Structure 1
Amino acid sequence: MDRQPKFKPQSESRFFADGNTDRPNPANVVARGRSVEADARFLGEDDHMYRGYSGALGLPDNTQWLRGFPEDVDVSQTFLQRGQERFTIFCAPCHGALGDGNGITKQYGMGATPTFHSDRIRDMAEGEIFNTITNGRNTMFGYADKIQPADRWAIVAYVRALQRAQQGTVDDVPAANRSELGL
């Protein structure tokens, strides 16, 4: 196996008339296991779903962070539970279970971790939070290689739920459900 004849990329070949080993793909070829319809998803061409913004990359003045969630995302109880699960695994060690910046890493001398309950983060667009999870910010490293895009959106939804729970008032509870609060 160590010494077998083989063609190396971009080397010469007397076998083919053009003298090259590299061959062009046949017309209409599609990679195995993929369809033409899946190309956009495979390549992550939907800026809202896969990047959290629309506009030119690297040009903040032209970037419009997505407010709300992409059309493909259905925010449901199951989705929030998935967000809580992913948050607990990836985010809570630093940001704390309540998103208050008091995770276990603080006890070991890690620098200040932001609370999600500050006005700065509460006012951030959902797309910007998604982008921070994806690419990181300051001392936080990016999680693009560890968390799938749909799960990053689930985490964003769960962060919004944490924020709402922290800032909620009795007026936020529908009148029909206020009796359940025992007030």
Structure 2
Amino acid sequence: MRIFLIIFVFIIAAVVSIFGFRGSLSEKTPIEIFPDMDRQARYKPQGENSFFEDGRNDRPIPVNTVARGNYLNYEEVFSEDFDDTVLGSTTFLQGKNPDGSWVKKLPVEADYTLIELGREKYDIFCSACHGAAGDGNGVTKPYGILATSYHDDRLRNEADGYIYDVITNGKGLMYGLKDRLTPEERWAVVLYVRALQRSQNATAEDVPAGERAELGI
């Protein structure tokens, strides 16, 4: 019992000693347990050194590496007077017209390659919640995570730019995909969503005449 009391008192004293001085000010140099973590030897950006032959700290990007960020950072890189048909296009990058209204139709050419790209990205990033048919019956539904059905009249009548913006920035529980999908890939997903909507609300007249016989209609 005596040993237990000694150990108990020692623990109490240690806890009081450690936590009792929290928030107190001191002019003494702090103790550095691992000084190499606080004072790391490193080359600063855009500096010079004698290690590399060209004397520059900044090095070329290694082959097959993935850069952090993308060309959407142009506002932080280029001056205000920089003009480019893609980088400065609010229609392509934001899904909005210069006046702030939503873009009604895709600002890119819709073709088979683009819709296949949209299907691929949709299956990866969207189908888990929204379902393969876009009806909201994804694998998350039984767990109480309800996703919007693309077949609602509200979304069928929404502008393409609005859907693009939701894919980009997210809405509600949905996180944005702007750091995972390029603008072209996001527009491809918009195109595929439109295809899903039409597949569930199509009529016989929407099928080309040459293919109706094969479908028996």
Match of 2:84? 40
Residue 152 (1) aligns with residue 186 (2): yes
Amino acid at match of 2:93: Y
Identify the residue that residue 120 of structure 1 maps to in structure 2: 154
**Separation (CA, whole Å) in 2 of partners of 1:147 and 1:7:** 29
Please, which of 70, 90, 95 is the counterpart of residue 125 of structure 2? Answer: 90
**CA 1:5 to 1:162, structure 2 compared with 1: closer, same or farther past 3 Å?**
closer
Instruction: Give the paired residue count.
Output: 145
Aligned equivalent of 1:68, options 105, 113, 116: 105
Larger Rg: 2
Q: 1:108 offset after TM fit, Å?
A: 2.2
Q: 1:106 is aligned with what amino acid?
A: K
Q: 2:197 aligns with which of 163, 169, 172?
A: 163
Correspondent of 1:100 among 121, 126, 135: 135
Deviations 1:50-104 (A, max 9, x none): 000024xxxxxx521001111xx22111111110000000000110000000111
- State the shift of 1:118 in Å: 0.3
Q: What is the CA RMSD across the aligned residues, in angstroms? A: 2.7
Aligned to 2:171: 137
Match of 1:33 in 2: none
Q: Which runs of 5+ in 1 are unaligned?
A: 10-37, 56-61
SS at match of 1:54: coil
Work out the CA distance in 1 between the residues paired with 2:117 and 2:214. Answer: 26
In structure 2, relative to structure 1, the CA distance for the partners of 1:3 and 1:137 (3 Å cut) is closer
Question: What corresponds to 1:22 in structure 2?
Answer: none
C-alpha deviations, 1:12-69, integer Å up to 9, x for none? Answer: xxxxxxxxxxxxxxxxxxxxxxxxxx96367x310110000024xxxxxx52100111
Matched, 1:77 2:120: no
Give the aligned residue type for 1:156.
V
TM normalised by structure 1 equals 0.71
Letter in 2 for 1:40: D
Q: Shift of the alpha carbon at 1:176?
A: 2.9
Q: Give the CA deviation at 1:6.
A: 7.5
Runs of 4+ displaced beyond 2 Å: 1-9, 38-42, 174-177
Judging changes above 3 Å, is the alpha-carbon distance between structure 1 residues 51 and 7 closer, same or farther for their aligned structure 2 residues?
closer
SS at match of 2:151: coil
Q: Secondary structure at the match of 2:167?
A: helix
Residue of structure 1 equivalent to 2:144: 109
Residue 54 (1) aligns with residue 130 (2) = no
Distance in 1, matches of 2:42 and 2:120, equals 50
CA distance in 2, matches of 1:6, 1:173: 62
Q: How has the CA–CA distance of structure 1 residues 164 and 7 changed in structure 2, closer, same or farther, with 3 Å as cutoff?
A: closer
In structure 1, C-alpha distance between the alignment counterparts of 2:124 and 2:45, rounded to whole Å: 46
Look up the equivalent residue of 1:114 and give its one-letter code.
T
Give percent identity, aligned residues only: 42
Render the CA deviation track for 1:86-127: whole Å, top value 9, x for unaligned. Answer: 0000000110000000111112221x2110000011011000
